[in-house]
């Protein structure tokens, strides 16, 4: 148990000592805010929101132009976010192996492994959604008159499958980062690592799940207060909103550091057993 506690605490210490690990998240947030503002400006939604005209808002949302620009936003956002996520993986790798890093090293890593990370995103998307879509088609085709029964079967199976895949894909990015393999081989090696380190993987996943639940509960408790403050004192409401974003960002960075460090710890233990 002590080793697990050390891993947990060490990950937080790494996050506190290496503020550079926050840069990719801050850049991703800034880019997406800017893209959303551009989307609102181009489609005229920004002006309609200011005028507070609900009827025109509905028309804009249903227009072909808005749907096109939302689709374009999603593509641009995904491609740009992928670069800075890959950059974050490179920064974490340097911090864990070399105890230090810099912005240029992160950019270099992102350039070298951009397409591998994107490939993992695409393959992961297919692994997650294709089986669920096929399952849905089969159930609702063979049980067309019993939609509730089909849904009652589909929903539990979907939840179990999503949990299973979340666990199986837990170490795919550390595998890609440390082993420097392509998208397919990273997924293959990740599946093998999880299979041969099942207990270690489950503990890692449960710790992350617990932290996620605690964070969600804290957010849920703070958000009503933010709404009240925003109505009464706008500045305080904004400050609380920024605090919520900072909390989410800190947990996100810690989560990646914890998973990457856990991967190295798992590999090290396996070598000792051999």
Query: What is the reported pLDDT for 231?
Result: 62
Could you tell me if 187 and 120 are in contact, meaning their C-beta atoms sit under 8 angstroms apart?
yes
Domain boundaries, the chain: 2-273
Could you tell me if 178 and 93 are in contact, meaning their C-beta atoms sit under 8 angstroms apart?
yes
Query: Angle at the Cα of 91 (from 90 to 95), degrees rounded to 5?
Result: 120
Query: What is the reported pLDDT for 227?
Result: 66
Query: What is the reported pLDDT for 3?
Result: 47
Could you tell me if 194 and 168 are in contact, meaning their C-beta atoms sit under 8 angstroms apart?
yes
User: Using one digit for the tens of pLDDT, what is the confidence trace for 37-69?
Assistant: 998 888 887 777 776 666 777 777 778 888 899
> For the chain, which ranges sit under pLDDT 70?
1-5, 51-54, 226-235, 237, 270-274
Q: How far, CA to CA in Å, does 203 sit from each of 104, 176, 182, 200, 268?
A: 34, 21, 27, 5, 16
Query: What is the reported pLDDT for 7?
Result: 87
Could you tell me if 250 and 15 are in contact, meaning their C-beta atoms sit under 8 angstroms apart?
yes
Average pLDDT value over all residues in the chain: 88
Q: How far, CA to CA in Å, does 108 sit from each of 72, 101, 113, 212, 222?
A: 27, 12, 9, 31, 39
pLDDT above 90 coverage of the chain, percent:
62
């Amino acid at each position: 148990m002590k080793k697990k506690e050390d891993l947990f605490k060490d990950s937080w210490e790494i996050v506190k000592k290496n503020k550079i690990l926050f840069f990719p998240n801050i850049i991703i947030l800034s880019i997406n805010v800017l893209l959303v503002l551009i989307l609102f400006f181009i489609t005229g939604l920004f002006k309609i929101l200011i005028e507070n005209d609900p009827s025109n808002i509905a028309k804009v949302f249903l227009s072909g132009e808005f749907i096109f620009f939302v689709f374009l936003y999603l593509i641009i956002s995904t491609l740009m976010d992928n670069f800075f996520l890959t950059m974050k993986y490179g920064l974490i790798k340097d911090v864990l192996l070399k105890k230090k890093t810099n912005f240029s090293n992160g950019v270099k890593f992102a350039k070298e492994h951009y397409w591998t990370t994107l490939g993992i995103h695409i393959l992961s998307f297919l692994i997650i959604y294709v089986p669920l879509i096929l399952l849905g088609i089969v159930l609702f085709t063979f049980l067309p008159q019993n939609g509730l029964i089909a849904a009652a079967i589909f929903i539990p199976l979907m939840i179990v499958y999503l949990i299973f895949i979340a666990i199986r894909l837990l170490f795919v990015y550390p595998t890609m980062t440390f082993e420097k393999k392509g998208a397919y081989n990273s997924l293959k090696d990740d599946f093998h690592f999880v299979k041969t380190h099942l207990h270690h993987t489950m503990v890692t996943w449960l710790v992350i799940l617990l932290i996620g639940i605690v964070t969600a509960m804290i957010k849920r408790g703070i958000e009503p207060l933010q709404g009240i403050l925003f109505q009464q004192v706008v500045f305080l409401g904004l400050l609380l909103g920024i605090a919520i974003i900072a909390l989410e960002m800190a947990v996100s960075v810690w989560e990646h550091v914890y998973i990457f460090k856990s991967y190295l710890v798992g590999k090290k233990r396996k070598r000792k057993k051999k």
